[in-house]
């Protein structure tokens, strides 16, 4: 049996932050399962995250938000550089990708790191011993990030929704859209659901 996980997300979206905790649980339980992290690059500097949305995520999930982020959450968000960075990570360091994404999101949602400048990534690169090329730190999407967007569009046609986050499990020739909303308050419970789908 071949199983593979696909996570369609944006690093700067609070619901995606909550859902990535589920991805982390799946990664820990099924260490050999390939996980594809596909960044949507939804926030391009012209889109905000509302305080109401952050409040809903905090109330309906196990996600934690820092005071500094809460104070500034209603500002325009730009995740393009993070999309480039994560596309590079997913390609070059797939075994660390989930941990790196969780680290990036914690810095964003707890420490209010915007990840809009090369220097915003320094602590993350030092922690995970990463040396991304300069093309990652551009204000426009890299070829790797654009490739991820093309993959997302293909999958969205199959699942007939453009909603995100989306968590999909491919088992052999079957593709299952996991109902991540059921597990946001107790992320570890997703492991049993995945086990059932795989059996």
Higher-scoring residue by pLDDT: 193, 73: 193
State how far the alpha carbon of 18 is from the alpha carbons of 8, 9, 132, in Å: 13, 11, 26
How many whole angstroms separate alpha carbon 80 and alpha carbon 15? 18
Q: Read off the pLDDT band of 193 (50, 70, 90).
A: very high
Q: Read off the pLDDT band of 14 (50, 70, 90).
A: very high
Over residues 23-43, mean pLDDT: 96
Of residues 196, 164, 141, 150, the one with CA closest to residue 20: 164
Domains and CATH numbers, the chain: 3-198 (3.40.30.10)
Render the burial of 43-67: b for 16+ CB within 10 Å, e for the rest.
Answer: beeeeebeeeebeebeeebebebbe
The pLDDT value given to residue 73: 80
In this model, does residue 108 exceed pLDDT 70? Answer: yes
Would you tell me the crossing angle of helices 14-29 and 97-109 to the nearest 10 degrees?
A: 150
110: cis peptide before it, omega within 30°?
A: no
Pairing relationship of beta strands 76-78 and 166-171 according to DSSP bridges:
unpaired
How many whole angstroms separate alpha carbon 121 and alpha carbon 107? 10
Give the predicted TM-score (pTM) of the model. 0.95
The pLDDT value given to residue 185: 96
In this model, does residue 1 exceed pLDDT 70? Answer: no
How many whole angstroms separate alpha carbon 147 and alpha carbon 169? 20
Distance of alpha carbon 123 from the chain centroid: 19
In this model, does residue 45 exceed pLDDT 90? Answer: no
Pairing relationship of beta strands 35-39 and 3-9 according to DSSP bridges:
parallel
Q: Identify whether the C-beta of residue 169 lies closer than 8 Å to the C-beta of residue 197.
A: yes
Over residues 155-172, mean pLDDT: 92
């Amino acid at each position: 049996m071949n199983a593979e996980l696909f996570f369609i997300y944006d690093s700067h979206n609070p619901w995606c932050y909550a859902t990535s905790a589920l991805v982390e649980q799946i990664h820990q339980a099924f260490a050999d399962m390939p996980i594809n992290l596909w960044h949507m690059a939804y926030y391009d500097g012209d889109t905000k995250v509302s305080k109401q949305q952050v409040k809903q995520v905090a109330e309906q999930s196990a996600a934690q938000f820092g005071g500094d982020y809460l104070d500034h959450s209603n500002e325009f968000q730009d995740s393009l550089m993070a999309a480039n960075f994560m596309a590079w990570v997913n390609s070059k360091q797939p075994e660390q990708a989930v941990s790196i994404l969780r680290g990036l999101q914690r810095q964003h949602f707890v420490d209010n790191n915007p990840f809009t400048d090369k220097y915003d990534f320094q602590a993350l690169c030092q922690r995970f011993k990463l040396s991304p090329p300069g093309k990652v730190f551009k204000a426009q999407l890299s070829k790797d990030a654009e490739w991820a967007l093309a993959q997302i569009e293909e999958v969205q046609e199959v699942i007939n929704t453009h909603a995100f986050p989306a968590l999909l499990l491919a088992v052999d020739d079957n593709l299952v859209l996991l109902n991540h909303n059921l597990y946001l308050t107790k992320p570890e419970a997703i492991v049993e659901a995945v086990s059932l789908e795989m059996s």
